[in-house]
């Protein structure tokens, strides 16, 4: 049996996953990657899944459209620019309509609450394809990539660093992954970008360390992560944010403090000369583009499990 018998209704966040669910999804992702193109069973046969996107996307859109197709399903890309949702129709009405037609939904939007409301009102399996609060699909792909490089469960004793806009959707999902899996996560960014006391209290994870010292975060880290300083929807903050973030740029000098054999991850798209230098991105490009490819395999694992919900 290749597919998993794990029972899950939605993928709304890393926060709401258990360690067992994460490791089962990773194991299935590895199997589906190894067996790509070789499996007869199509868990999404006869199913139609909607991709409801309010923000731009290259990797997420294509990996979901391809993944749904490879699992035997049909993907409908629905930009909110074209939907009545974009003209003000409430989420709860859209969800109640689409829940009667679709078998599942993949949503990229701003508010986490919108994805949660869609799930509640539609009653169909719902996947968070990025909100302002979390990017769970990317974290699953990143953990899959990390295990490919360093071995299954290798995150257990690892120090992982995340630099820059650490309280964004990627940073938050890494925080919850650290909470669930127990690895050390060092977050480094300017004071105003560090997670609030309220978030840290909710997280309640002593293995998540916050600092304004980039070198302290990178020292001894095996994985160094970064992401854009200006997430989608924050374009108006470009001028005011950038200056404070330059000390957290992932560059060659900073990486000299990292562990021997370290990797650099970037979820992409990357802004060279800002959060990462051109030479570092190119030196680590085989891993960074593997992260992008692994979106497909990790999400096929999620889709195949949710297809039974």
Residues that bind ligand CP in the complex, under the rule CB under 6 A: 57-60, 130, 138, 267-268
**CA gap 135, 270 in Å, rounded:** 16
Nearer to ligand CP, 3 or 265 (CB): 265
For 135-183, give the DSSP string: -HHHHHHHHHHHHHHH-TTGGGG-EEEEESSTTSHHHHHHHHHHHHH--
CA dist 89 → 80, 95, 161, 233, 283 (Å): 10, 10, 41, 20, 47
227 interacts with, out of ligand CP, ligand NVA, none, CB within 5 to 8 A per kind: ligand NVA
* 271 token code pair: 């802004």
58 interacts with, out of ligand CP, ligand NVA, none, CB within 5 to 8 A per kind: ligand CP
Q: How far is the CB of 252 from ligand CP (least distance, A)?
A: 24
Q: How far is the CB of 229 from ligand CP (least distance, A)?
A: 15
Percentage helix, strand, coil, to 5, in the chain? 45, 15, 40
Please report whether residue 168 would count as binding ligand NVA according to CB under 6 A: yes
Tokens 């890393």 belong to which residue? 14
**Strand intervals (E) in 18-73:** 48-53
Q: Quick one: which H or E segment has residue 238?
A: helix 238-245
**CA gap 172, 200 in Å, rounded:** 10
- 214 three-class SS: helix
Strand partners, 210: 187
Active site residue 103: no
Q: How far is the CB of 151 from ligand NVA (least distance, A)?
A: 27
**Residue whose C-beta lies closest to ligand NVA:** 231
Give the residue among 185, 140, 178 at the shortest CA–CA distance from 24.
140
Please report whether residue 122 would count as binding ligand NVA according to CB under 6 A: no
Please report whether residue 228 would count as binding ligand NVA according to CB under 6 A: yes
Q: How far is the CB of 40 from ligand CP (least distance, A)?
A: 30
Nearer to ligand NVA, 116 or 227 (CB): 227
- Residues in 246-285 that interact with ligand NVA by CB under 6 A: 267
Active site residue 191: no
Nearer to ligand NVA, 3 or 174 (CB): 174
**CA gap 129, 285 in Å, rounded:** 23
Active site residue 36: no
Kindly name the residue from 135, 172, 180, 284 that is annotated as catalytic: 135
Q: How far is the CB of 67 from ligand CP (least distance, A)?
A: 13
Candidates 45-53, 112-120, 142-150, 166-174; binding stretch for ligand NVA (CB under 6 A): 166-174
Q: Catalytic residue numbers?
A: 108, 135, 138, 227, 267, 295
């Amino acid at each position: 049996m290749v597919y998993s018998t794990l029972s899950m209704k939605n993928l709304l966040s890393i926060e709401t996953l258990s360690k067992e669910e994460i490791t089962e999804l990773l194991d299935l992702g590895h199997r589906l990657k190894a067996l790509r193109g070789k499996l007869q069973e199509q868990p999404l046969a006869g199913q139609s899944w909607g991709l409801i996107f309010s923000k731009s996307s290259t990797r997420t859109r294509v990996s979901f459209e391809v993944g749904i197709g490879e699992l035997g399903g049909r993907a409908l890309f629905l930009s909110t620019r074209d939907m009545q949702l974009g003209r003000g129709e409430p989420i709860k009405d859209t969800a109640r309509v689409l829940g009667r037609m679709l078998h599942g939904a993949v949503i990229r939007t701003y508010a986490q609450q919108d994805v949660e409301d869609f799930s509640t009102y539609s009653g169909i399996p719902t996947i968070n394809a990025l909100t302002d609060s979390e990017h769970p699909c990317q974290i699953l792909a990143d953990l899959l990539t990390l295990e490919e490089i360093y071995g299954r469960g290798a995150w257990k004793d690892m120090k992982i660093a995340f630099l820059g806009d650490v309280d964004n959707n990627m940073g938050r999902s890494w925080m919850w992954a650290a909470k669930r899996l127990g690895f050390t996560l060092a977050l480094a960014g300017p004071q105003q970008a560090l997670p609030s006391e309220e978030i840290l209290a909710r997280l309640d994870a002593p293995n998540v360390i916050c600092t304004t010292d980039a070198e302290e975060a990178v020292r001894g880290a095996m994985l160094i992560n970064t992401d854009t300083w200006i997430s989608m929807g924050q374009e108006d903050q470009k001028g005011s944010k950038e200056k404070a973030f330059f000390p957290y740029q992932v560059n060659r000098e900073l990486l000299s403090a990292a562990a021997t054999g370290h990797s650099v991850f970037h979820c992409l798209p990357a802004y060279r000369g800002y959060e990462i230098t051109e030479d570092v991105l190119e030196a680590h490009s085989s891993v960074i583009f593997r992260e992008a490819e692994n979106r497909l395999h990790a999400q096929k694992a999620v889709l195949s499990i949710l297809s039974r919900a």
